[in-house]
A and B are shown apart, each in its own frame.
Chain A
Amino acid sequence: MQIVYSIFNTILDAGAVVMLPIIITVIGLIFQVKLSKAFRSGLTIGIGFAGINLVINMMKSNLGPAAQAMVENFGIKLDILDVGWGAIAAVTWSSPIIAILIFCILLTNIVMLLLKATDTLDVDIWNYHHMAIVGIMVYYVSKNVAMGIGATVIMAVITFKLSDWTAPLVEDYFGIPGVSLPTVSALSSIIIAAPLNWLLDRIPGINKINFEIKDAKKYLGFFGEPTMMGLILGCGIGALAKYPVSKIMSLGVNMAAVMVLIPKMTSLFMEGLMPISEAAKKFTKEKFKGRKFLIGLDAAVVVGNPDVITTSLIVIPLTILMAAVLPGNRVLPFADLAVVTFRVAMVVALTKGNLFKNIVIGLFCTGAILLAGTATAPVLTQLATSVGLNLGDGMITSFAATSLTLSFLVYEAFITKPFIFVPLLIAVFAGVWMFMSRYNKKRQAAAQVTPAVKGEMI
């Protein structure tokens, strides 16, 4: 017994870099991946984690002091660094309870499919991290595994339903049938977008505004290139920090490097997870043979849409400005500016490409993300440090994890008087579910009536 205990302790002491490969290898074996492949996956992920740690460190050591100087010079208090969703995903996968959460999410999906409560089959294991991080944050604060699992399961249920309800948008606006997008980083915006869109349509005057910006790519295109964004933001912050010109320039290049390197490290993560994802896909396909379902995909498949890109290219610089003036915000948007496309994709589909509404709603969404990010940064930073991310002083955040409106609401419900707020959360969601069921039934009935009417008119 002593031996087992000391083995455990040795591994724990080695940190996430060692824990991750072991956890992933075990998950792989459970999904019947060959040991050699599972181990290679695990190792690749461990390497990805080490890589992300390296780059985050570089970012912090360069940008941290500059951000501090900005505060001293101009009172612009943006001291919480946006290190990007990739780094937070790394933290998520390094949690001791991640394995349980992954299986709970998959189990929730399978149960819901069996009960015909959802049509979405989500084996995009990589993106489970969006749902898992909520449970991990809840667990970290409450030290209660059951609460953590509860939060994650609720996230999963809500995600799968939102995914079902937005599938018609994906088919109609983005032209991809038979799929849905259970990616919280894109779905979360719907919570703000749907009511706001409804409201905007009812304000006289405003509801008539619609304009186009042709060739936004030509003039604003560089906002979409990570290298350029990193360089410009780096130099900009260096200037605000009143650095000498040489230091401004080197900060710019170093930040461009960060913007390019973080995704490459995250890519390693993805590569390592692939065999497990494929195994899960095979497993569920066999169990659900013949059943027609919506295949859950990463929302990345729709962010190439020109209207989404145009909206993003405008929302990105506006978000940076907003960050500086929004009261209560301390987040310095950086790495995740690259994924604003995800946050606005569903908005664009909802408004059917109305650029004015997209920009207004988009800014509300990013604003909410900034504020939620500020609120959850302390806990997130502690969590990240506890798994071995080298952060020194100062806090971190991203535009994902609990900065996402949906995740934030579920997280807060669980840690602030859960006995009141969790039932409330469930009640509100049940209400929306019933509304949507009735709405969809009406839609289907109308779709059947119209051809009949058309027939009579002819």
Chain B
Amino acid sequence: MKKILVACGNGIATSTVVATKIREKCEDNGVAISVTQCKLLEVESKAEDYDLLVTTGKFTGGDVNIPVVGAISLLTGIDEEETLDEILSYVK
């Protein structure tokens, strides 16, 4: 089962929206995943345990060895489906 780390400024509000949408998308496509939320500040200390990093804000700097997807579209609603498809492609 692939593990996704969703990071946002706070680890609470926006990452919950993104995490819920990702879970629904994966469920609709029959892909089992586990999603964890955290703050952007915690990413470096957590990233190596996960297969994919999804961020709501702009994530610059920091070394992570896993693929990163910027998911602000899941908040604005513009190009939402494309981003979800991209995330799905990493965990199928």
Contacts and interface: CB of A to CB of B under 8 A. Distances in A.
A298 B58 contact: no
Contacts, number: 101
Given A175-B58, A270-B17, A306-B61, A300 B76 contact: no
A317 interface: no
Interface in A77-119: 86
A199 to B, nearest CB: 29
B66 interface: no
Interface string A425-436: 000000000000
Contact of B58 (A263, A304, A339, A341): A304
- Chain A interface bracket (under 10, 10 to 19, 20 to 34, 35 or more): 35 or more
A301 B12 contact: no
B75 to A, nearest CB: 6
A298 B20 contact: no
A263 B12 contact: yes
A270 B60 contact: no
Contact of B60 (A226, A281, A305): A305
Nearest to A275: B20
B47 to A, nearest CB: 14
Given A221-B41, A225-B41, A306-B60, A301 B14 contact: yes
B76 A303 contact: no
Contacts of A21: none
Interface in A109-131: 126-127
A181 B11 CA distance: 18
B39 interface: yes
A412 interface: no
Interface in B42-92: 42, 44-45, 55-61, 72, 75-78
A274 B22 CA distance: 13
Given A174-B58, A225-B42, A295-B76, A301 B20 contact: no
Given A299-B9, A304-B40, A274 B72 contact: no
Given A267-B16, A267-B37, A305-B60, A178 B76 contact: yes
SS class, residues of chain A in contact with chain B: helix
Interface string A278-318: 00010001000000000101111111111001000000000
B77 to A, nearest CB: 6
B59 A304 contact: yes
A300 B13 contact: yes
6 nearest CB pairs, A to B: A300-B9, A303-B9, A304-B40, A224-B41, A304-B57, A270-B16
Interface of B: 7-17, 20, 37, 39-42, 44-45, 55-61, 72, 75-78
23 contacts: A126-B13, A176-B72, A217-B44, A226-B39, A270-B13, A274-B16, A274-B20, A295-B76, A297-B14, A297-B75, A298-B9, A299-B9, A300-B10, A300-B14, A301-B57, A301-B58, A304-B40, A304-B41, A304-B55, A304-B57, A304-B59, A306-B60, A309-B41
Interface of A: 86, 126-127, 174-176, 178-179, 217, 221, 224-226, 263, 266-267, 270-271, 274, 277, 281, 285, 295, 297-306, 309, 338-339, 341-342
Given A300-B9, A300-B57, A304-B8, 12 more contacts: A126-B13, A176-B58, A178-B76, A267-B11, A267-B12, A267-B13, A267-B15, A295-B76, A300-B14, A302-B57, A306-B60, A341-B41
